[in-house]
Amino acid sequence: MTKAVTCGLSPIGNRPPGKERFMNRKQRVSIAKIEKEVDAGKEVIDKYFDVGHPRVGQPRTVRRIRKTNLDLTEEMLRELDELADSLNVSRQAVIKVILRQALDQHRLAQQSSVSTKKDKGPGVR
């Protein structure tokens, strides 16, 4: 059991790995309030932001990216490019999304197949 910290922050030493520090609930403010303080010439960085642990633009989990080559037909590339253009994203983004959907669908089908076999009982295929 962890000890409660009087300021409302999570106990630093007992946090699971990967959990960042969060702002004290009492200090949560709207962007409008911060903008008003900035416009009034007040210093807000130290008051509202933890500059020692910035997270802007950083992914929550770091995954190792590996490059691969993929051979596709002209027709497939044309379809991918048309979809990418219509969504205003890159071809790579379209490929990643489609591949992720296919892998998720396959995993769900595998899980469903395993659970169906368990429901039928032993020795039934």
Kindly report, residue by residue over 73-109, the tens digit of the pLDDT. Answer: 999 999 999 999 999 999 999 999 999 999 999 999 9
Of 80, 78, 119, 118, nearest to 99 by C-alpha is 80
Say what the pLDDT of residue 44 is.
79
As given in the structure block, the two tokens for residue 64 are 């190792």
Contact 27, 20 (CB under 8 A): no
* pLDDT exceeds cutoff 80 at 8: no
Global confidence as pTM: 0.45
Contact 94, 82 (CB under 8 A): no
Say what the pLDDT of residue 123 is.
59
Indicate the angle between helix axes 91-120 and 74-87, nearest 10 degrees: 100
* Per-residue pLDDT tens digits for 58-83: 556 667 888 999 999 999 999 999 99
Q: Where are the domains of the chain?
A: 17-48, 74-120
d(CA 61, CA 58): 9
Q: What are phi and psi of 88, to 5 degrees?
A: 60, 45
d(CA 76, CA 79): 5
